[in-house]
Structure 1
Amino acid sequence: MSALANLYPQPLWQWFAQICAIPHPSKHEQALSQHIQAWARDKGLSLTEDRVGNLIIRKPATAGMENCKPVVIQAHLDMVPQKNADKVHDFTKDPIEAYVDGDWVKANGTTLGADNGIGMASALAILGSDDIKHGPLEVLLTVDEEAGMTGAFGVEAGMLQAEILINTDSEQEGEIYMGCAGGVDAEFTVPVQWQATAGDVTAFNLSLTGLKGGHSGVNIHLGRGNANKLLARFLADNVAALNIAVAGFNGGSLRNAIPREATVTLTVPAAKLSQLQQQVAEFEALLRQELAAVEPALTLSLTEQPLPQKVLTTATQQKLINLLNVCPNGVMRMSDEVEGVTETSLNMGVITTQTNSIQVLCLIRSLIDSGREQVQSMLSSLAQLSGAEVKFSGAYPGWKPDPASPVMAVVKDTYQAIYNKEPVIMVIHAGLECGLFKKPYPDMDMVSIGPTIRFPHGPDEMVNITTVGQYWELLLAVLERIPERS
Structure 2
Amino acid sequence: MTTTQDISQLYPNALWNWFAQICAIPHPSKYEAKLSAHIQQWAAEKGLPVVVDHVGNLIIRKAATAGMENCKTVVIQAHLDMVPQKNADKQHDFVLDAIEPRIDGEWVKANGTTLGADNGIGMASALAILGADDIPHGPLEVLLTVDEEAGMTGAFGLQAGMLNAEILINTDSEQEGEIYMGCAGGVDAEIRLPLSTENTPSGLRQYTLYISGLKGGHSGVNIHLGRGNANKLLARFLAGHANELGIRISDISGGTLRNAIPREAQCRFLIAPEQVTLLNQRIAQYEQILNSELRQTEPALKVRVEESDTQADKVLSLSAQTRWINLLNACPNGVIRMSDDIPGVTETSLNLGVISIENGHGRALCLIRSLIDTGREQVESMLTSLSDIAGAEISLSGCYPGWKPDTSSPVMKIVKDTYESIYHKEPDIMVIHAGLECGLFKKHYPELDMVSIGPTIRFPHGPDEMVNIKTVGQYWELLLAVLARIPQKTA
Cα shift readout 1:393-428 (whole Å, capped 9, x = no counterpart): 000000000000000000000000000000000000
Within the candidate set 190, 193, 204, 2:193 is matched to 190
Within the candidate set 302, 305, 309, 2:305 is matched to 302
SS at match of 1:438: helix
Deviation at 1:272, TM superposition (A): 0.6
Corresponding letter in the other structure for 2:89: D
- Does residue 367 in structure 1 map to residue 368 in structure 2? no
- Does residue 400 in structure 1 map to residue 400 in structure 2? no
- Does residue 8 in structure 1 map to residue 17 in structure 2? no
- Does residue 161 in structure 1 map to residue 167 in structure 2? no
Deviation at 1:358, TM superposition (A): 1.4
Equivalent-residue separation in structure 2 for 1:67 and 1:338 (angstroms)? 37
Cα shift readout 1:359-412 (whole Å, capped 9, x = no counterpart): 100000000000000100110000000010010000000000000000000000
Equivalent-residue separation in structure 2 for 1:348 and 1:221 (angstroms)? 14
SS at match of 1:259: coil
Equivalent-residue separation in structure 1 for 2:281 and 2:243 (angstroms)? 15
Q: 2:449: which partner in 1? A: 445
Corresponding letter in the other structure for 1:149: M
- Does residue 30 in structure 1 map to residue 33 in structure 2? yes
Q: 2:353: which partner in 1? A: 349
Q: 2:250: which partner in 1? A: 247
Within the candidate set 411, 418, 424, 1:420 is matched to 424
Equivalent-residue separation in structure 2 for 1:303 and 1:42 (angstroms)? 56
- Does residue 231 in structure 1 map to residue 234 in structure 2? yes
Equivalent-residue separation in structure 1 for 2:321 and 2:77 (angstroms)? 46
Q: What 5-or-longer segments of structure 2 have no aligned partner?
A: none
Equivalent-residue separation in structure 1 for 2:84 and 2:131 (angstroms)? 28
Q: 1:466: which partner in 2? A: 470
Within the candidate set 377, 381, 386, 1:382 is matched to 386
Q: 2:43: which partner in 1? A: 40
Corresponding letter in the other structure for 1:274: T
Within the candidate set 129, 137, 155, 2:140 is matched to 137
Deviation at 1:198, TM superposition (A): 1.1
- Does residue 409 in structure 1 map to residue 413 in structure 2? yes
Corresponding letter in the other structure for 2:83: V
Equivalent-residue separation in structure 1 for 2:44 and 2:448 (angstroms)? 28
* TM-score, normalization by structure 1: 1.00
Q: What 5-or-longer segments of structure 1 have no aligned partner?
A: none
SS at match of 1:126: helix
* TM-score, normalization by structure 2: 0.99
Q: 2:482: which partner in 1? A: 478
Within the candidate set 33, 50, 54, 1:51 is matched to 54
- Does residue 120 in structure 1 map to residue 123 in structure 2? yes
Equivalent-residue separation in structure 1 for 2:89 and 2:223 (angstroms)? 25
Q: 1:85: which partner in 2? A: 88
SS at match of 1:66: coil
SS at match of 1:267: strand
Q: 1:435: which partner in 2? A: 439
Cα shift readout 1:57-108 (whole Å, capped 9, x = no counterpart): 0000000001111000000000000000000000000000001011100000
Q: 2:105: which partner in 1? A: 102
Cα shift readout 1:122-158 (whole Å, capped 9, x = no counterpart): 0000000000000000000000000000000011110
Q: 1:270: which partner in 2? A: 273
Corresponding letter in the other structure for 1:254: L
Equivalent-residue separation in structure 1 for 2:359 and 2:32 (angstroms)? 31
Equivalent-residue separation in structure 2 for 1:301 and 1:13 (angstroms)? 41
Identity of aligned residues (%): 69
Equivalent-residue separation in structure 1 for 2:190 and 2:139 (angstroms)? 43
Deviation at 1:271, TM superposition (A): 1.1
Equivalent-residue separation in structure 2 for 1:204 and 1:32 (angstroms)? 42
In angstroms, what is the RMSD of aligned CA positions? 0.5
Cα shift readout 1:275-319 (whole Å, capped 9, x = no counterpart): 001000100010000000000001111111122111000010011
Further displaced range: 164-173 or 191-200 = 191-200
Corresponding letter in the other structure for 2:12: P
Deviation at 1:355, TM superposition (A): 2.7
Equivalent-residue separation in structure 2 for 1:352 and 1:39 (angstroms)? 42
Equivalent-residue separation in structure 2 for 1:274 and 1:355 (angstroms)? 33
SS at match of 1:439: helix
Equivalent-residue separation in structure 1 for 2:208 and 2:364 (angstroms)? 19
Cα shift readout 1:438-469 (whole Å, capped 9, x = no counterpart): 00000100000000000000000000000000
Q: Segments of 4+ in structure 1 off by > 6 A?
A: none
SS at match of 2:66: coil
SS at match of 1:87: coil
Corresponding letter in the other structure for 1:47: V
Counterparts of 1:148-227 in structure 2, within 5 Å, are: 148-227=151-230
Equivalent-residue separation in structure 2 for 1:452 and 1:115 (angstroms)? 10
Corresponding letter in the other structure for 1:96: I
Equivalent-residue separation in structure 2 for 1:474 and 1:433 (angstroms)? 21
Further displaced range: 27-36 or 266-275 = 266-275
Corresponding letter in the other structure for 2:370: S
Corresponding letter in the other structure for 1:142: T
Corresponding letter in the other structure for 1:144: D
Cα shift readout 1:25-68 (whole Å, capped 9, x = no counterpart): 00000000000000000000010000000000000000000111
Q: 1:66: which partner in 2? A: 69
Deviation at 1:251, TM superposition (A): 0.2
